[in-house]
Each structure stands twice: as C-alpha cells, then as structure tokens.
Homo-oligomer: A and B are copies of this chain.
C-alpha cells in the first residue's frame, strides 16, 4: 500500500516500502488534515516540477550570499507570474504551499513583508491607516519589515532604547537611537530589500514614557533606494543559516515622522499628546501564543524531514555483516541505528499534535476574548512557552541524531541535514529564548503549587490546569 514506489528507485528502498502495512496516502491525508489539501498540494508540486524557471539553476549551497539573494529575487518575479496561473483565486494556503517549494526555508526577499509587515498593518492599523497602507502593501508598492530587537535588547522588551518623542507643536514624533546598543539589529530583509519598516520604539509624550509601540516609517527613497536623511541602514553579515535573508541593522538620528505614523488601532496618541491606552492590553501575549504554536508545528516538520532522509539513507546504505559471511546488511538492520532514528519519527508526530492542539486552544481563547474573557491566557502562555522550548530543543537533538546516523554523508550539504539543523536551531532563541520560556512555565507551576498547597482553587480554572486542583488522582491533564 506504499504509494511512493516508483520504477527506477533503489531496489533496497523498494524492498522496504513493500513491507508497508498501511496506505501511505491515508497517512498523508491525516498529516495534511484533509484529502483535498493533500491532493491540491500534489497538484501544485507537479506544476512546480514542470516549470524550471521556478527552480534554482544550481544548488544554493554553491552560491555566495549575493548570488543567493539575486536568485531569490529572480524567483520572486517568476513566483508572482506562476501564482496567477496555478492559484488564480490566491488561496493563502495554496500560495504558502507554492512558496515552500520555490523558496525552501532559507528566506526570500518579501518574506518579512508577508509574515510581519502585512499582519502588523492588519492587526494594528486603524481603519483610516489600513485603507491607505494595506492596498499598497498587498500590491508590493513598498516592501516592509519589522524591527523590534536591538543590538543591546531582546528579551527585556521594556528596556528598548529606541525612542519616539512626541512634539505637539508640529504634531510629529522624533525617532532616535540615542546609543550604539539602541541600533535595531536582526530584522530580516532589512539590509538590502525593504524601503518601509514597522519599528518598535518607546513612546514618550508630555514627559511620560508609555513603553514600546509600533510605528510605520519609510527608510529608503522609492526611486534610488538610498536611505533617507537621518537613517543609517546596513547588513549584519552571515549567520549560521538563512543567508538568503538579508538581516540588517538600522539607526535613526532624530528623524521626524507624522503623528499618524503610529499604529492606532489599539493605543492612540491625540494631537495634543494625550495617550489613550489600548482596551485589551493582553492581546499582544495572544499573538505570541499563536506564533509559538506555529513554531512547534514548523519544528515538527523539520524533524520529520530529517527522519525521512535518514531512514531512506539507512535502507540503502549497506555496511558491515551481522552474520559473518552472509554479506553486508542495510544499516537499518542495526538496533543502534533504529534506536537513533525511529524515536525521531515518533517525536515528529507527537510535536505535530502539540502544535495543532495549541493552535486550537488559541482559537478558543480568541473566541473567549470576543466575549470579554481572557482568563485562560496565563495557562495558554505557560503551555505554549514550555512546548516551544522543549520541542525546539528536542527537534535539534533529533535532527543531529538523524544527521550522524548518515555518517560522513550527513556532513555533506548534499544530505540537506546540516541545513535543517542550522535552520531549526535558530528556533531555540527566536520568539522567546528557551531558558526564559522554561522559567515562565516554572513560575506558572510554582503559582499553581502554592494555590494547591493553600487549598485555594481559583474561581475559574482553565481546562488545561484543572487536574492540578482535583482530589481525584486518576484525573489527567487534558493535553
């Protein structure tokens, strides 16, 4: 029932596949959540295979950073042309599918515009702002990115040093990077591509510090692409991976921007400098929960890819005899090899389920918010924090096991495994440093423990944590 068997495959691989006891298409349907999604994915993949101009002229591992970026820019033009043909209704899932085939996981020139720029406009611009910015953004009349982390500040957001000081006389903000450590550092697609930026700066008005807020700022001339006066922007250099993405740095030297450059769907600043705080101050945490659930799912898939490569390789790699004189066997026959690889397959599925479950909880939370309830947020924050930390860490260890299980060939980029590791390992740091996230969950559990010890069950306990307060020891966590 293995639907992957093809003529011309390595016979050892076919032999293994013949042993399959289930229909691989049924499993693929479960993975892609519906048969329609799965079929559509195959359709798009076949289309991609047939159109060479969507491919890389040579493996990107042979290119330097500038060639990688140029190649990605060329592919972006082809991508837009072919999207019109194969996805005329612009279905976002289908577009994402084609994106993953064309650009792999090393980034592309408008990635941050798509995943951070546009969503920030959607979630943070008021109606008037959205009416002005969104059509242009969708039409790529500008390319934007998102700048929060600074050279000196990542985890402790409240101490960001970039400031936006309001001047009520001219109704403008003065954006400034007062120190070297205030330099925005890391934004993807900033070094070479973007001409607009969502910048997070501490809002100062009437002598008061209102903390970090997002602003929408032009940084480059639309014609010459030169940086605008007062803006210093450049490249932060090569990284462990994701080198097709031009991560950059940015400094402002007292740059004046209009009052309406501040995103005003949530917090607002009136012309006289009066600050109006947002209604749902905790909504930002909700977004973090969502991003972490997505991270868990993405990580599960990296591990699944590594396990697939490693399992297939182990089927066709013969080395050593188990019974002397009987000939060499596939390394998959060795217990130690199985012990290395098979748990990674199981983990990939388990983490896939974790990602889906957290996303479901997030959707329930969103529904609750609409009814004015946000009390499940601490539980959701704790569970998504610990899952993100544990899954990213275990996935990286798992990919390394898969890589080492391929021996020397796992060290060659031809295996794809060094790239998967270097890609996944970034996840231990971004979207909340793992050690910090583990402590967030620990703090939540210690709070729960104190409440249990005092026999003080909170007035409303979320279904996630309910079992902790139950006298029935057979009751288990709902996850």
Instruction: Give the residue name and chain of the B residue nearest to A410 (CB).
Output: B429
Are B65 and A65 in contact (CB-based, < 8 A)? no
CB neighbours (8 Å) of A400 from chain B are 396, 425
Residue A63 lies at the interface, judged by CB distance under 8 Å to chain B = yes
Are A237 and B412 in contact (CB-based, < 8 A)? yes
Are A404 and B428 in contact (CB-based, < 8 A)? yes
> Known contacts being A152-B318, A404-B428, is A238 close to B61, with CB within 8 Å?
yes
From A122-130, A261-269, A431-439, the one touching the partner chain is A431-439
- State the number of copies, please: 2
CB neighbours (8 Å) of A428 from chain B are 404
Chain A 382-424 interface mask (CB, 8 Å, partner B; 1/0): 0000000000000010001000100110111110001000100
Residue A459 lies at the interface, judged by CB distance under 8 Å to chain B = no
A22 to B429, CA, bound (A): 35
> Known contacts being A152-B318, A340-B435, is A429 close to B408, with CB within 8 Å?
yes
A418 to B407, CA, bound (A): 20
> Known contacts being A62-B65, A408-B429, is A319 close to B155, with CB within 8 Å?
yes
Residue A271 lies at the interface, judged by CB distance under 8 Å to chain B = no
CB neighbours (8 Å) of A240 from chain B are 411-413, 418
Q: How far is the CB of A433 from chain B (nearest CB, A)?
A: 6
Are A408 and B154 in contact (CB-based, < 8 A)? yes
A64 to B68, CA, bound (A): 11
CB neighbours (8 Å) of A410 from chain B are 429
A98 to B64, CA, bound (A): 29
CB neighbours (8 Å) of A152 from chain B are 317-318
A408 to B62, CA, bound (A): 26
A273 to B3, CA, bound (A): 54
Residue A258 lies at the interface, judged by CB distance under 8 Å to chain B = no
Shortest 9 CB-CB contacts between residues of A and residues of B: A64-B64, A240-B418, A61-B238, A156-B320, A238-B413, A336-B435, A156-B319, A240-B411, A404-B428
The interface of chain A, by Cβ under 8 A from chain B, is: 59, 61-65, 67, 149, 152-156, 159, 185-186, 236-240, 317-321, 328, 336-337, 340, 396, 400, 404, 407-408, 410-414, 418, 422, 425-426, 428-430, 433-435, 439
